[in-house]
Structure 1
Amino acid sequence: MQIGYHKLKNRLFLAPMAGVTDLPFRRICSDYGAGLTFSEMMSTNPQVWHTEKSKLRLSYHQDVGINAVQIAGSDPDEMAQAARINVAYGAQLIDINMGCPAKKVNRKMSGSALLQYPDLVQRILTAVVSAVTVPVTLKIRTGWDQKNRNCVEIAKIAEDAGIQALTIHGRTRQCLFDGNAEYEHIKAVKQQISIPVIANGDITSPQKARDVLDYTGVDAIMIGRAALGNPWIFKSMEALLESDSIVSAPDLDEKCSVILRHIRDIHQFYGEEKGYRIARKHVAWYLQGIQPNSDFRQTFNSISSAAEQLDVLEDFLNFTRLDRKNVRTTT
């Protein structure tokens, strides 16, 4: 798999997710086999480029591989300038967001709202591609609503503008995350353009990943929500897709070790005051795969100290491991 001059280790990508794909999470997903990970979405508003929040989103470590940064906006000149600034900060690939369905993003005529205006899409893509020497990619949805699925038209515009790869989330903006992903429209796009196409949406297991690749003929897949609390999904997917083998999920000991490492990294990355707040949602996602009916989440969320969070979490995970071992011994 190759995007521009970047040679990727496999066909499995971690989707850019606001509030999720920070450096600690990208590093873990990369360790478990994600071939490309994207930063959280960066606004093209120049007033926020130098804020602490933006600096954190731009944080990069060579452990995550290619430094891919996603930008969002609606003004071609601002988008071009944002791309140049991010490349100057170390971005090795620029991804343009035209797929986000959030109202607060769409109200600014950004994200998937742009799919309503193909001429503006063309101007933005041309401006950004011309502004930088690194590969530029694009993420879209199948259209604005079910009566206006124009993903094939947008894909052709993207290819003509010099976009190096196209990711398609298989829903319209109107669908948000409801219903089933529309893989038939992703397949139609793949048949019409020659640049790499990446499928996104509802890919939650290794078998589903292979089925989507086989049906659509795309070059790669992108995993979003299925990786929340489950970063090891990339390892099992890579095994099936690249070597036709089955790799089980890590055992409980390994999972617990990863969870503790992740929370420590979050505390260190964000600092005491913000770190313990960010940690809460990740622990909630991890619990879904370990103790989904546990009351521990409520206990954990009441803690306002990073050190105490780690102590309580480690005690809970140790108890969970011991309890599982006792159950196996007595059955």
Structure 2
Amino acid sequence: MTDNSPFPPAPRLEPIRIGPVTVATPVALAPMTGVTDMPFRTLVRRFGSGLNVTEMIASQAMIRETRQSIQKAEWHPSEDPVSMQLVGCDPVSMGEAAKLNEDRGAAIIDINFGCPVRKVTNGFAGSALMRDIPLATQLMKATIAAVSVPVTVKMRMGWDHASLNAPELARIAQDLGAAMVTVHGRTRNQMYKGSADWAFVRRVKDAVSIPVIVNGDVCGIGDAATALERSGADGLMIGRGAYGRPWLLGQIMDWLEGREVRPDPSLPDQFALVTEHYRAMLDHYGGDTGVKMARKHLGWYTKGLKGSADFRNKVNFIDDADKVLASLREFYLPLFDDSRKAAAA
């Protein structure tokens, strides 16, 4: 029998156990500041995700219970079990913030050793900690000791190509009791340039016995197949590939589970989805902030569609929520007619 599937054969991935949490199909949504808030994560979970991770939450802000940190820590029951990610450089604060997040319902605490953004690394947090293994060790030890839920760690390959120490940091994490590590296949100095080195992640996988997740540049099923083959990882974490495509993780899960892969939603369904997402952001952030926070999502959803550049140039300067919704209708409705004509031809 000939296999006519347009996709490569799927590897057989075992469920991942993170302490008492079992992730049946290990496809996780990456933590992305300003992107993976509750409205977006809820949509992703509807289409399918093995695990959702919140936006990065600063440990000091969590302790002070700032409005922004509380928003980032909010999660929907449909996401359960949810992983909450913390970033910081003070062991005591990290432990205290981890306990607060556990109390807020986190099933997993994730430690960020991967953020490359300068304002984070200048504060000796995120990927800067890959240059200070003793401090990174103290942070992990304090966090793990503070909570009863499992702790995981997300990292890069290293600070730069002269210090690719992810295997060393992963071994330390495992020895301290961390339940899983995720590796983005770039150094901090690469930021998001170049291509993710999925093959390097195999060095981390060979160094530890806990689950290892590969992250970086997984934008489709073909990427997922290659990343898993080169890395030998136990699962995938999807970040920027899901911009404007909250259905992507579900499609990859279909492939891994041997089901027929669902197509992208139709344009009418995408319009309904964008509208729902937009309204959810207004509810989550309030009108003024919600309108501004949603602009990038509108750009990602519409990218590549006819007239999208003109739409973005227009909608990015509209501050009235109702006028944005009207602009969305004006943009999408003519596309429905075009798609119907193409289908009838």
TM range (shorter): over 0.9
Distance 2:90 2:250 in 1: 39
In structure 2, what is the equivalent of residue 227 of structure 1? 242
Aligned residue pairs, count: 330
Q: Is the 8 A contact 1:210 1:241 kept in 2?
A: no
Distance 1:194 1:9 in 2: 18
Mapping of 1:19-168 within 5 angstroms?
Answer: 19-46=34-61, 49-168=64-183
Per-residue CA deviation, residues 20-57 of structure 1 (Å, 9 max, x unaligned), is 01000000111111111111111111586322111111
1:259 maps onto 2:274 in alignment: yes
Q: Is the 8 A contact 1:42 1:57 kept in 2?
A: yes
Name the SS for the 1:45 alignment partner.
Answer: helix
* TM-aligned CA deviation for residue 293 of structure 1: 4.5
Name the SS for the 1:38 alignment partner.
Answer: strand
Per-residue CA deviation, residues 285-318 of structure 1 (Å, 9 max, x unaligned), is 1111434743011221121111221122123212
1:169 maps onto 2:184 in alignment: yes
Q: Is the 8 A contact 2:62 2:97 kept in 1?
A: no
* Range 119-128 or range 299-308, more displaced: 299-308
In structure 1, what is the equivalent of residue 20 of structure 2? 5
In structure 1, what is the equivalent of residue 265 of structure 2? 250
Distance 1:234 1:253 in 2: 21
Mapping of 1:255-294 within 5 angstroms?
Answer: 255-291=270-306, 293-294=308-309
Note the residue ranges of structure 1 that are not aligned, 5 or more in a row: none
- Give, as a single letter, the amino acid of the residue that structure 2 aligns with 1:168: V
Per-residue CA deviation, residues 41-98 of structure 1 (Å, 9 max, x unaligned), is 1111158632211111111111122121100001111111110111122222100000
Distance 2:223 2:27 in 1: 13
2:219 is aligned, of 190, 200, 204, to 204
The Cα RMSD (Å) is 1.5
Name the SS for the 1:171 alignment partner.
Answer: coil
Q: Using a 3 Å threshold, how does the CA distance of structure 1 residues 245 and 207 change in structure 2: closer, same or farther?
A: farther
- TM-score w.r.t. the length of structure 1 is 0.96
Identity across matched positions, percent: 36
Distance 1:90 1:20 in 2: 21
Distance 1:287 1:68 in 2: 29
Q: Using a 3 Å threshold, how does the CA distance of structure 1 residues 284 and 199 change in structure 2: closer, same or farther?
A: same
Distance 2:269 2:79 in 1: 20
Distance 2:199 2:341 in 1: 48
Structure 1 runs of 4+ off > 4 angstroms?
none
Distance 2:225 2:40 in 1: 24
* Range 70-79 or range 299-308, more displaced: 299-308
Distance 2:307 2:25 in 1: 32
- Give, as a single letter, the amino acid of the residue that structure 1 aligns with 2:158: G
- TM-score w.r.t. the length of structure 2 is 0.92
- Give, as a single letter, the amino acid of the residue that structure 2 aligns with 1:76: P
Q: Is the 8 A contact 1:201 1:224 kept in 2?
A: yes
